[in-house]
Structure 1
Amino acid sequence: MPSNKIKLSLFLCLSMCLGIGILRFSYTALLPTTRIAYDWSLQFSSILGSANLLGYLMGAFWAMKLPQNPNMSKFILGAAFAGTISLLSCAFSNFSESWYIFWRVISGISGGLLMILSPSVVAQCCKPEERLSINFIGFSGIGIGVLLATLFLPYLDRISTQTAWFILFGFALLISLILMYLLKIFQSHFSDIHATNQPLYSINGMYFSLLIVYAASAFAYVPHSLFWIDYLKNTLHLNLYHINLNWILYGSGSALGAISAYVLARKFGNFIALKILYSIYVVAILIAILDFNPILTYTSSFFTGLLNPAVVFLTSYTIMHLYGVAYKKLWSVATLSFAITQLIGGLCFSGLQHLGVSYHQQFILASVVLALGTLQFFIYSLRFSNKVS
């Protein structure tokens, strides 16, 4: 039913917007000004970033263990409102360091739960032929959330850091209330949904190849997701205007990520589309070290922003397309792998930073890891295509 398709698309879009876009990236966007306003050290800022990654890992593991039943809606709502409160809790200074660490962990847990449970609800409630379009619209929410986190950046020199956090809290609260309304509508569908018993393929090496390259992207993504604004401000010494422009390009790219993956998938198929996206991703990370021309920095901002939600959406849909009823479990494992690798990457890059390794060297390391993951995916997907044909 079209109205149900629209509601499912809106539900997934808002879940991704809140869980990943706002709860995850608001911290990156506000890090430089928050660090100054709250008198945080660089080391403590890195700890908070790692705390969020740890929370995301905990949330993904918890979601994997939850049964696929109507109670998922309660956990989705709990995650949404807990994450909303975590934003409010960051709006106040002069608390102990443990206060901010606790709430960044809660924010990460909320993101992990929303990332897994919300697509699983959609998979239960939508028709198979509607999955691609619903997931494309839904995963666009990641980019919309990042874009929301950038809207007020040009005005940070005119508003207080506390006001910026209050604005994000307002966005999150509104989204949580809409999610609560939508879940009441879907609740009646859960008991009537019967999953099909026949996935398209049995679980095979293709899944593990997807898992490896997806995890590699999680590691490679860390420098841009945690330190990009800090790199622009303290390494390249860009002024507020250029920092804002880079971050707005990042947010704009994120908003276009899912639709770019959708267009490529429709034209070339899932596997070729993923190869194209991951190959561009390697280059987009690497050109961050070429700071002699602002165009290159802008390009890196735009394409790294675009490619993360693009590969997240297309990886999720490919797993759903290939493995049917096993989707929730396999997407949970993929998200858990992403979270573990991202946490390792966060600790690794924070350690390298502490040891004095430059951001340029970190970007090179990130691109090399993703290039290796992409290479094995090229090799295995070619074998897989030959077997299927």
Structure 2
Amino acid sequence: MSSNRVKLSIFLCLCMCLGIGILRFSYTALLPATREAFGWTGQFASILGSANLLGYLAGAFWAMRIPQTRVMTFYIQAAAFAGTLSLFSCAFAGFSDFWYVCWRVISGMSGGLIMILSPSIVAQCCELKDRFKINFIGFSGIGLGVLLATLFLPYLDHIAVRSAWLILTGFALIISIVLSVLLKGLKPLLSLHAAVQQEKIQLNLLYFSLIAVYGCSAFAYVPHSLFWIDYLTQVLKLDLYWMNFNWILYGLGSALGAFSSYLLARKLGNFAALKILYCAYVCAIVAAVFDVSPFFTFMSSFLTGLLNPAVVFLTSYTILQLYGSAYKKLWSIATLTFAAIQLIGGLSFSALQHWGVSYHQQFTIAAAVLLLGAAQLFWVTRKHAPVVTECSNSSH
């Protein structure tokens, strides 16, 4: 049993590392250097960011329709290698705009498929008592991927941008091969569960409240995920050293995100932990508005890096514990909601930027939206909230 738990933890960790940390975050981290080296305009760089979000939405929708059988392993393998190829294809300059748009869409689709299917496989293959630890270790992979994507930032003035992309491609290829090996051992376990019928779940206000605040976090995250580098360089006029320092802080925060929410949830319960995390998230975004001291910028970089994987992990795990066998479908809906609202947010903030709305005002709007989402979660759980602990599997 211990061996199976280790394999599942490594599997989920590598999936999150590749699907979210590398396939999605690497573009943001390498964008300034790539944009300069490839001669991209700011508008085209924004289009590529939206293309990735569109692909993520399409991948999440596709994953929801895939049957909960061993066929999921094929789609994860295909997504992993397709995502690796997308990194390789973005390493070279001189291709048409359509080329880069297509590969960024494919990268997003790969991330969406992996994000939904991998925790669904783990939910079927692990015992109830092991869920919390496996999911915590697994979702820590998001931070690991972010750290891998930020490793090159201090050295981009010494190495070619192409080399950075190719090194990331190498990481992704190694992860894809290891995932293929691990999936071979998981297929028999999935076959045992393929015939289990999913029970009908009566959704309540609590689930929709979770989805609502999760969607608000997707919208609020957009300014940091798409425009943080521009803000640091164009508004704060930071040089390469301090810009890289902020991104390293972001990466370190991401690496600690799942662990922080794990400790908090074990001590206080999932819903109390989620409320604290979302309140801290609002503060982290608001901190970006105060540019009178570098401390606020550092704090915003570190905390937004930490809190995004923290709320993703804890939301996913809470849905799993509350709704059991319906997890894949309900987590798919949550991920679809996140992807759709993030895409809408990306287009909205791009439009606001085009209309001359300042970054400070955009951060304020983002924080206000997340504050509304957190407020409705407080309201829904104001009398009592389910106590979801490491070994629970019900809403009481």
Runs of 4+ in 1 over 3 A off after TM superposition: 194-202, 386-389
- What is aligned with 2:392? none
* TM-superposed deviation, 1:192: 1.4
1:194 and 1:115 mapped to 2: Cα distance? 20
- Cα gap change, 1:257/1:386 in structure 2, threshold over 3 Å: closer, same or farther? closer
Match of 1:207 in 2: 207
CA contact (8 A) 1:124 1:195 kept: no
Letter in 2 for 1:147: L
Determine the C-alpha separation between the residues in 2 that align with 1:199 and 1:148.
40
Q: Do the aligned partners of residues 233 and 239 (structure 1) sit closer, same or farther apart at CA in structure 2, a change above 3 Å counting?
A: same
Q: Which residue of 2 aligns with 1:167?
A: 167
Q: In structure 1, how many angstroms separate the alpha carbons of the residues matched to 2:164 and 2:255?
A: 21
Which secondary structure state, in structure 2, belongs to the residue aligned with residue 289 of structure 1?
coil
* Displacement of 1:197: 6.6
Give TM-score, length-normalised by structure 2.
0.96
What is the deviation of 1:233?
Answer: 1.3
The amino acid across from 2:214 in the alignment is Y
Tell me if structure 1 keeps the 8 A contact 2:70–2:194. no
Provide the rounded CA distance (Å) in 1 between the counterparts of 2:79 and 2:360. 36
- TM-superposed CA distance for 1:195, in Å, is 8.1
Aligned to 2:331: 331
The answer to whether the Cα contact below 8 Å between 2:213 and 2:370 also exists between their aligned partners in 1 is yes
Instruction: Note the C-alpha offset of 1:52.
Output: 0.3
Question: Counterpart of 1:283 in structure 2: which amino acid?
Answer: C
- What aligned pairs does 1:169-318 form with structure 2 within 5 A after superposition? 169-193=169-193, 202-318=202-318
Q: CA deviation at 1:202?
A: 3.4
Q: 1:386 to 1:265 in 2, by over 3 A?
A: closer
Task: Give the match's secondary structure for 1:12.
Answer: helix
2:84/2:169 contact within 8 Å kept = yes
State yes or no: 1:23 paired with 2:28.
no
Helix, strand or coil at the partner of 2:67: coil
Secondary structure of the residue aligned to 2:192 is coil
Q: CA deviation at 1:193?
A: 2.6
- Please give the residue correspondences for 1:1-389 in structure 2 after superposition, counting only pairs within 5 Å: 1-193=1-193, 202-385=202-385
| Paired amino acid for 1:39 | G
Q: Is the 8 A contact 2:271 2:386 kept in 1?
A: no
| Equivalent-residue separation in structure 2 for 1:147 and 1:275 (angstroms) | 27
Distance in 2 between residues matched to 1:358 and 1:43, nearest whole Å: 17
Q: Quote the Cα distance in structure 1 between the aligned partners of 2:248 and 2:381.
A: 35
Q: Offset at 1:381?
A: 1.6
Partners of 2:177 and 2:229 lie apart in 1 by: 31
**CA distances 1:83-139 after superposition (whole Å, capped 9, x unpaired):** 000000110001111111000000000000000000000001000110000000000
Helix, strand or coil at the partner of 2:94: coil
Helix, strand or coil for the counterpart of 1:362? helix
What residue identity is the alignment partner of 1:251? G
For the residue of structure 2 that corresponds to 1:171, the secondary structure is helix
Distance in 1, matches of 2:270 and 2:197, equals: 23
What is the Cα-based RMSD across aligned positions, in Å?
1.6
- Return 5+ residue gaps in structure 1 as ranges: none
Q: 2:244 corresponds to which letter in structure 1?
A: N
Alpha-carbon contact 1:16-1:114 (below 8 Å) kept = yes
CA distance in 2, matches of 1:194, 1:129: 21
Change (3 A) 1:6 1:73: same
SS in 1 for 2:40: coil
Q: Residues 256, 209 of structure 1: CA spacing in aligned structure 2 closer, same or farther, 3 A cutoff?
A: same
TM-superposed deviation, 1:292: 1.2
Distance 1:195 1:252, change over 3 A: farther
Please say if residues 54 and 108 of structure 2, whose CA atoms lie closer than 8 Å, have aligned partners that are also in contact: yes
- Alpha-carbon distance in structure 2 between the residues aligned to 1:10 and 1:202: 33
SS in 2 for 1:385: coil
The CA deviation at 1:194 is: 6.3
TM-score (norm 1): 0.97
Report if aligned partners of 1:80, 1:176 keep a CA contact under 8 Å in 2: yes
Q: Which amino acid is the alignment partner of residue 173 of structure 2? A: L
- Letter paired with 1:67: P
**Structure 1 residues 198 and 100: CA distance shift in structure 2, 3 A:** closer
Distance 1:315 1:273, change over 3 A: same
1:190 deviation in Å?
1.2
2:130 & 2:197 partners in 1: Cα distance? Answer: 18
Identity %: 66
Residue 198 to residue 169, structure 1, CA distance change in 2 (3 Å): closer
The one-letter code sitting in structure 2 at the alignment partner of 1:98 is F
Mapped partners of 2:100, 2:194: distance in 1: 43
Alpha-carbon distance between aligned partners in 2 of 1:386 and 1:328, rounded to the nearest angstrom: 21
User: C-alpha offsets along residues 358-386 of structure 1, whole Å, 9 cap, x if unaligned?
Assistant: 11111111000000000000110224528
SS of the equivalent of 2:203 reads coil
CA apart distance, 1:69: 0.6
Q: Secondary structure at the match of 2:24?
A: helix
Deviations 1:50-109 (A, max 9, x none): 000000000000001111011000000010000000000110001111111000000000
Give the Å deviation of 1:356.
1.5
